[in-house]
Protein backbone atom coordinates (compact mmCIF):
# COMPACT_ATOMS: atom_id res chain seq x y z
CA UNK A 1 0.00 0.00 0.00
CA UNK A 2 3.06 2.32 0.19
CA UNK A 3 2.97 3.03 -3.56
CA UNK A 4 -0.76 3.64 -3.38
CA UNK A 5 -0.39 6.08 -0.48
CA UNK A 6 2.27 8.10 -2.31
CA UNK A 7 0.13 8.38 -5.44
CA UNK A 8 -3.00 9.37 -3.50
CA UNK A 9 -1.06 12.09 -1.63
CA UNK A 10 0.33 13.36 -4.96
CA UNK A 11 -3.19 13.47 -6.40
CA UNK A 12 -4.49 15.56 -3.50
CA UNK A 13 -1.47 17.88 -3.64
CA UNK A 14 -2.02 18.50 -7.33
CA UNK A 15 -5.67 19.31 -6.73
CA UNK A 16 -4.78 21.69 -3.91
CA UNK A 17 -2.32 23.57 -6.11
CA UNK A 18 -5.10 24.53 -8.52
CA UNK A 19 -6.53 26.90 -5.94
CA UNK A 20 -3.76 29.37 -6.79
CA UNK A 21 -4.56 31.98 -9.47
CA UNK A 22 -3.56 31.09 -12.99
CA UNK A 23 -3.77 32.86 -16.27
CA UNK A 24 -4.66 29.62 -18.06
CA UNK A 25 -8.39 28.87 -18.37
CA UNK A 26 -9.53 25.27 -18.40
CA UNK A 27 -10.24 24.11 -21.94
CA UNK A 28 -13.18 22.05 -20.77
CA UNK A 29 -14.76 24.60 -18.44
CA UNK A 30 -18.45 23.82 -18.48
CA UNK A 31 -20.35 25.93 -16.03
CA UNK A 32 -20.12 29.40 -17.45
CA UNK A 33 -22.52 32.09 -18.56
CA UNK A 34 -22.77 33.12 -22.20
CA UNK A 35 -21.18 36.58 -22.52
CA UNK A 36 -23.56 39.31 -23.53
CA UNK A 37 -22.97 40.62 -27.01
CA UNK A 38 -24.87 43.04 -29.16
CA UNK A 39 -28.02 41.43 -30.60
CA UNK A 40 -26.90 38.03 -29.25
CA UNK A 41 -28.90 35.46 -27.36
CA UNK A 42 -27.85 35.84 -23.72
CA UNK A 43 -29.99 33.02 -22.30
CA UNK A 44 -27.67 30.66 -20.30
CA UNK A 45 -27.08 27.14 -21.59
CA UNK A 46 -28.98 24.12 -20.35
CA UNK A 47 -27.10 21.15 -21.82
CA UNK A 48 -23.51 20.60 -22.90
CA UNK A 49 -21.95 17.56 -24.55
CA UNK A 50 -18.58 16.62 -25.99
CA UNK A 51 -15.69 14.17 -25.74
CA UNK A 52 -12.63 12.78 -27.48
CA UNK A 53 -11.13 9.75 -29.22
CA UNK A 54 -7.44 8.95 -28.73
CA UNK A 55 -5.73 6.10 -30.64
CA UNK A 56 -2.07 5.17 -30.14
CA UNK A 57 -0.10 2.68 -32.26
CA UNK A 58 3.37 1.32 -31.46
CA UNK A 59 5.21 -1.06 -33.78
CA UNK A 60 8.66 -2.60 -33.86
CA UNK A 61 10.49 -5.15 -36.01
CA UNK A 62 13.90 -6.85 -35.99
CA UNK A 63 15.87 -8.63 -38.67
CA UNK A 64 19.20 -10.35 -37.98
CA UNK A 65 19.43 -8.37 -34.74
CA UNK A 66 22.33 -9.74 -32.71
CA UNK A 67 21.06 -8.46 -29.37
CA UNK A 68 17.88 -10.50 -29.77
CA UNK A 69 14.23 -9.71 -29.25
CA UNK A 70 10.92 -10.28 -30.96
CA UNK A 71 11.02 -10.15 -34.74
CA UNK A 72 7.75 -8.24 -34.70
CA UNK A 73 5.68 -6.45 -32.08
CA UNK A 74 2.73 -4.11 -32.26
CA UNK A 75 0.45 -2.50 -29.70
CA UNK A 76 -2.67 -0.43 -30.24
CA UNK A 77 -4.60 1.40 -27.54
CA UNK A 78 -7.82 3.35 -27.87
CA UNK A 79 -9.41 5.68 -25.33
CA UNK A 80 -12.87 7.18 -25.89
CA UNK A 81 -14.65 9.66 -23.65
CA UNK A 82 -18.09 11.20 -24.02
CA UNK A 83 -19.94 13.47 -21.59
CA UNK A 84 -23.34 15.11 -21.31
CA UNK A 85 -23.87 17.80 -18.68
CA UNK A 86 -27.07 19.54 -17.61
CA UNK A 87 -27.49 22.65 -15.49
CA UNK A 88 -30.56 24.69 -14.65
CA UNK A 89 -31.15 26.81 -11.56
CA UNK A 90 -30.16 24.58 -8.62
CA UNK A 91 -30.18 21.35 -10.62
CA UNK A 92 -27.16 19.62 -12.17
CA UNK A 93 -26.88 16.28 -13.92
CA UNK A 94 -23.46 14.97 -14.99
CA UNK A 95 -23.09 11.94 -17.26
CA UNK A 96 -19.70 10.54 -18.28
CA UNK A 97 -18.65 7.47 -20.29
CA UNK A 98 -15.09 6.12 -20.71
CA UNK A 99 -13.93 3.20 -22.82
CA UNK A 100 -10.35 1.89 -22.91
CA UNK A 101 -9.14 -0.98 -25.06
CA UNK A 102 -5.71 -2.23 -26.07
CA UNK A 103 -4.08 -5.18 -27.85
CA UNK A 104 -0.47 -6.33 -27.85
CA UNK A 105 0.87 -8.68 -30.53
CA UNK A 106 4.38 -10.09 -30.71
CA UNK A 107 6.16 -13.01 -32.34
CA UNK A 108 6.81 -14.83 -29.07
CA UNK A 109 3.62 -14.08 -27.16
CA UNK A 110 0.97 -13.94 -29.87
CA UNK A 111 -1.99 -11.61 -29.30
CA UNK A 112 -2.90 -10.51 -25.80
CA UNK A 113 -5.17 -7.86 -24.31
CA UNK A 114 -3.39 -5.14 -22.34
CA UNK A 115 -6.33 -2.83 -21.62
CA UNK A 116 -10.11 -3.19 -21.46
CA UNK A 117 -12.45 -1.03 -19.37
CA UNK A 118 -15.99 0.28 -19.59
CA UNK A 119 -16.79 3.00 -17.06
CA UNK A 120 -20.10 4.87 -16.94
CA UNK A 121 -21.14 7.38 -14.28
CA UNK A 122 -24.28 9.45 -13.75
CA UNK A 123 -24.64 12.02 -10.97
CA UNK A 124 -27.64 14.23 -10.17
CA UNK A 125 -27.34 17.07 -7.68
CA UNK A 126 -29.61 19.67 -6.09
CA UNK A 127 -27.94 22.77 -4.67
CA UNK A 128 -29.01 23.03 -1.04
CA UNK A 129 -28.01 26.69 -0.65
CA UNK A 130 -27.84 29.17 -3.51
CA UNK A 131 -24.86 30.94 -1.90
CA UNK A 132 -22.78 27.77 -1.33
CA UNK A 133 -21.38 24.93 -3.44
CA UNK A 134 -22.96 21.94 -1.70
CA UNK A 135 -25.29 19.62 -3.61
CA UNK A 136 -27.51 16.85 -2.27
CA UNK A 137 -26.57 14.16 -4.76
CA UNK A 138 -27.50 10.73 -6.02
CA UNK A 139 -24.82 8.80 -7.90
CA UNK A 140 -24.84 5.62 -10.00
CA UNK A 141 -21.86 3.98 -11.70
CA UNK A 142 -21.05 0.87 -13.72
CA UNK A 143 -17.62 -0.62 -14.41
CA UNK A 144 -16.69 -3.77 -16.31
CA UNK A 145 -14.88 -5.00 -19.44
CA UNK A 146 -15.89 -6.44 -22.83
CA UNK A 147 -13.53 -9.30 -23.64
CA UNK A 148 -11.72 -12.22 -22.02
CA UNK A 149 -8.66 -11.35 -19.96
CA UNK A 150 -6.05 -13.93 -18.97
CA UNK A 151 -3.10 -14.29 -16.66
CA UNK A 152 -0.05 -16.13 -17.99
CA UNK A 153 2.47 -18.49 -16.44
CA UNK A 154 4.86 -19.82 -19.03
CA UNK A 155 2.79 -21.32 -21.82
CA UNK A 156 -0.27 -21.68 -19.62
CA UNK A 157 -3.04 -19.11 -19.51
CA UNK A 158 -5.82 -18.78 -16.95
CA UNK A 159 -9.06 -16.89 -17.41
CA UNK A 160 -9.07 -13.88 -15.09
CA UNK A 161 -12.00 -11.81 -16.36
CA UNK A 162 -14.61 -11.53 -19.09
CA UNK A 163 -17.75 -9.53 -19.88
CA UNK A 164 -19.69 -8.86 -16.64
CA UNK A 165 -17.19 -10.97 -14.70
CA UNK A 166 -16.51 -8.93 -12.78
CA UNK A 167 -18.88 -6.00 -13.10
CA UNK A 168 -19.41 -3.39 -10.40
CA UNK A 169 -22.67 -1.48 -10.00
CA UNK A 170 -22.80 1.24 -7.37
CA UNK A 171 -25.70 3.34 -6.06
CA UNK A 172 -24.95 6.11 -3.59
CA UNK A 173 -26.62 9.06 -1.86
CA UNK A 174 -24.58 11.83 -0.28
CA UNK A 175 -23.24 15.37 -0.51
CA UNK A 176 -21.23 16.74 -3.42
CA UNK A 177 -18.94 19.74 -2.91
CA UNK A 178 -18.17 21.56 -6.18
CA UNK A 179 -16.16 24.73 -5.45
CA UNK A 180 -15.01 25.00 -9.09
CA UNK A 181 -16.00 23.46 -12.42
CA UNK A 182 -12.76 21.45 -12.48
CA UNK A 183 -12.93 19.88 -8.99
CA UNK A 184 -15.52 18.04 -6.90
CA UNK A 185 -15.62 15.90 -3.77
CA UNK A 186 -18.50 13.48 -3.26
CA UNK A 187 -19.03 11.87 0.17
CA UNK A 188 -21.67 9.28 0.97
CA UNK A 189 -22.43 7.35 4.17
CA UNK A 190 -25.05 5.20 2.36
CA UNK A 191 -23.76 3.25 -0.61
CA UNK A 192 -24.69 -0.12 -2.09
CA UNK A 193 -22.08 -1.84 -4.25
CA UNK A 194 -22.97 -4.98 -6.16
CA UNK A 195 -20.32 -7.23 -7.67
CA UNK A 196 -21.38 -9.50 -10.54
CA UNK A 197 -19.43 -12.58 -11.67
CA UNK A 198 -21.65 -14.18 -14.30
CA UNK A 199 -19.02 -16.54 -15.73
CA UNK A 200 -19.42 -20.00 -14.18
CA UNK A 201 -15.68 -20.80 -14.22
CA UNK A 202 -14.81 -17.68 -12.25
CA UNK A 203 -17.88 -17.98 -10.04
CA UNK A 204 -16.99 -21.52 -9.01
CA UNK A 205 -13.58 -20.23 -7.91
CA UNK A 206 -15.19 -17.60 -5.69
CA UNK A 207 -13.43 -14.87 -7.66
CA UNK A 208 -13.74 -11.15 -6.80
CA UNK A 209 -15.27 -11.77 -3.38
CA UNK A 210 -18.38 -13.57 -4.64
CA UNK A 211 -19.16 -16.80 -2.72
CA UNK A 212 -18.19 -19.95 -4.61
CA UNK A 213 -20.97 -20.94 -7.01
CA UNK A 214 -22.75 -17.59 -6.59
CA UNK A 215 -22.93 -14.81 -9.17
CA UNK A 216 -23.78 -11.73 -7.10
CA UNK A 217 -22.34 -10.13 -3.97
CA UNK A 218 -23.93 -7.08 -2.29
CA UNK A 219 -22.05 -4.75 0.02
CA UNK A 220 -23.23 -1.79 2.13
CA UNK A 221 -20.75 0.87 3.04
CA UNK A 222 -19.34 4.39 2.74
CA UNK A 223 -18.10 5.89 -0.53
CA UNK A 224 -15.99 8.89 -1.56
CA UNK A 225 -15.12 10.17 -5.02
CA UNK A 226 -12.75 12.96 -6.07
CA UNK A 227 -12.80 14.29 -9.64
CA UNK A 228 -10.25 16.76 -10.96
CA UNK A 229 -9.30 18.28 -14.32
CA UNK A 230 -6.53 20.82 -14.86
CA UNK A 231 -4.68 22.49 -17.72
CA UNK A 232 -1.16 22.12 -16.33
CA UNK A 233 0.43 24.04 -19.18
CA UNK A 234 -0.43 25.45 -22.56
CA UNK A 235 -0.67 22.02 -24.18
CA UNK A 236 -0.92 19.68 -21.19
CA UNK A 237 -4.21 18.55 -19.63
CA UNK A 238 -4.67 16.25 -16.64
CA UNK A 239 -7.85 14.38 -15.78
CA UNK A 240 -8.08 12.29 -12.63
CA UNK A 241 -10.58 10.39 -10.54
CA UNK A 242 -10.18 8.68 -7.17
CA UNK A 243 -12.88 6.41 -5.70
CA UNK A 244 -12.76 4.83 -2.24
CA UNK A 245 -15.21 2.33 -0.73
CA UNK A 246 -15.41 0.85 2.76
CA UNK A 247 -17.65 -2.15 3.46
CA UNK A 248 -19.41 -1.69 6.82
CA UNK A 249 -20.05 -5.42 7.26
CA UNK A 250 -16.68 -6.93 6.32
CA UNK A 251 -13.31 -5.46 7.37
CA UNK A 252 -14.30 -1.78 7.02
CA UNK A 253 -10.70 -0.63 7.56
CA UNK A 254 -9.61 -2.37 4.34
CA UNK A 255 -10.63 0.37 1.93
CA UNK A 256 -11.02 -0.48 -1.75
CA UNK A 257 -9.39 2.06 -4.08
CA UNK A 258 -9.93 2.77 -7.76
CA UNK A 259 -7.88 5.58 -9.29
CA UNK A 260 -7.44 6.63 -12.90
CA UNK A 261 -5.06 9.30 -14.23
CA UNK A 262 -4.93 10.61 -17.79
CA UNK A 263 -2.37 13.09 -19.14
CA UNK A 264 -2.63 14.53 -22.65
CA UNK A 265 0.33 16.35 -24.23
CA UNK A 266 -0.87 18.12 -27.36
CA UNK A 267 1.55 18.12 -30.29
CA UNK A 268 -0.70 19.64 -32.93
CA UNK A 269 -4.36 19.62 -33.87
CA UNK A 270 -4.59 15.85 -34.36
CA UNK A 271 -1.48 14.42 -32.68
CA UNK A 272 -0.81 14.02 -28.98
CA UNK A 273 1.24 12.06 -26.50
CA UNK A 274 -0.70 10.44 -23.67
CA UNK A 275 0.04 8.76 -20.38
CA UNK A 276 -2.43 6.61 -18.44
CA UNK A 277 -1.90 5.35 -14.92
CA UNK A 278 -4.59 3.22 -13.25
CA UNK A 279 -4.34 2.02 -9.65
CA UNK A 280 -6.66 -0.51 -8.02
CA UNK A 281 -6.69 -2.05 -4.58
CA UNK A 282 -9.58 -4.40 -3.85
CA UNK A 283 -9.38 -6.56 -0.75
CA UNK A 284 -11.64 -9.14 -2.41
CA UNK A 285 -9.36 -9.72 -5.41
CA UNK A 286 -7.12 -12.40 -3.88
CA UNK A 287 -5.25 -13.84 -6.84
CA UNK A 288 -1.72 -12.64 -6.01
CA UNK A 289 1.10 -13.73 -3.75
CA UNK A 290 2.95 -17.05 -3.52
CA UNK A 291 -0.23 -19.07 -3.03
CA UNK A 292 -2.40 -16.90 -5.29
CA UNK A 293 -4.69 -16.06 -2.37
CA UNK A 294 -3.73 -12.52 -1.35
CA UNK A 295 -4.75 -9.02 -2.51
CA UNK A 296 -2.19 -6.63 -3.97
CA UNK A 297 -2.06 -3.07 -5.30
CA UNK A 298 -2.68 -3.31 -9.05
CA UNK A 299 -0.91 -0.90 -11.40
CA UNK A 300 -1.40 -0.30 -15.13
CA UNK A 301 0.77 2.23 -16.96
CA UNK A 302 0.51 3.06 -20.68
CA UNK A 303 2.41 5.62 -22.76
CA UNK A 304 1.70 6.39 -26.40
CA UNK A 305 1.80 8.87 -29.26
CA UNK A 306 -1.01 8.93 -31.74
CA UNK A 307 -4.18 10.40 -33.15
CA UNK A 308 -6.42 12.65 -31.04
CA UNK A 309 -9.83 13.96 -32.11
CA UNK A 310 -12.13 15.96 -29.89
CA UNK A 311 -15.89 15.99 -30.24
CA UNK A 312 -16.89 19.66 -30.24
CA UNK A 313 -18.68 20.76 -27.10
CA UNK A 314 -22.24 21.71 -27.97
CA UNK A 315 -24.27 24.17 -25.91
CA UNK A 316 -28.05 23.93 -25.97
CA UNK A 317 -29.63 27.07 -24.55
CA UNK A 318 -32.93 27.26 -22.73
CA UNK A 319 -35.97 27.96 -24.77
CA UNK A 320 -37.61 31.30 -24.02
CATH of the domain at 53: 2.40.230
Residue 19 burial (C-beta neighbours within 10 Å; 0-12, 13-18, 19+): exposed
- Beta partners for residue 50, in sequence order: 83
Query: Which domain covers residue 158, as residue numbers?
Result: 2-30+43-317
Is there a domain that residue 38 lies in? no
Is there a domain that residue 305 lies in? yes
Q: Give rounded-to-5 percent helix, strand, coil for the chain.
A: 10, 60, 30
Angle at 297 between CA 241 and CA 228, to 5 degrees: 10
**Ranges assigned E (strand) in 128-266:** 134-144, 149-153, 156-161, 167-180, 183-196, 216-233, 236-247, 256-266
Is there a domain that residue 37 lies in? no
Is there a domain that residue 98 lies in? yes
From its phi and psi, is residue 154 left (phi > 0), alpha (psi between -120 and 50) or beta?
Answer: left
Model confidence pTM above 0.85: no
Is there a domain that residue 36 lies in? no
> By C-alpha distance, which of 242, 285, 294, 206 is closest to 5?
242
Q: How far is CA 266 from CA 184, 270, 312, in A?
A: 25, 8, 16
Number of domains in the chain: 1
Helices (H), the chain: 2-17, 200-204
Is there a domain that residue 105 lies in? yes
Is there a domain that residue 185 lies in? yes
Report how far residue 31's alpha carbon sits from residue 91's, in angstroms, rounded to the nearest whole number.
12
Phi, psi dihedrals of residue 13, rounded to the nearest 5°: -65, -40
* DSSP type of residue 63: S
- Residue 258, Cβ neighbours under 10 Å: how many? 20
37 prior amide bond cis, ω within 30: no
Note down pLDDT in tens along the chain; length 320 residues: 554 555 555 555 555 554 444 334 434 443 444 444 444 444 565 889 999 899 998 888 888 787 778 888 899 999 999 999 999 989 999 999 999 999 999 988 889 999 999 999 999 999 998 778 999 999 999 999 999 999 888 778 899 999 999 999 999 999 999 998 889 999 999 999 999 999 999 999 999 989 999 999 999 999 999 999 999 888 999 999 999 999 999 999 999 999 999 999 999 988 999 999 999 999 888 878 777 788 899 999 988 889 988 887 655 554 33
Is there a domain that residue 166 lies in? yes
Amino acid sequence: MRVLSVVVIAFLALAQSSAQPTVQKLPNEIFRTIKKEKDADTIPWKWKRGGLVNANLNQGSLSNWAAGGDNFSMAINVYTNYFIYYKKDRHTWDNNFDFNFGLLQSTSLGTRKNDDRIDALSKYGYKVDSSRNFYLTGLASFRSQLFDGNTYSGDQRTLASTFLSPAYVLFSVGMDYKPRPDFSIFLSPITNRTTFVLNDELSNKGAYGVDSGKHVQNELGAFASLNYTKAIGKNIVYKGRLDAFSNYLNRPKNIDIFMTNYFSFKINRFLSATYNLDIIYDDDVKIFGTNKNAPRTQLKSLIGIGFLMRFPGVLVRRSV
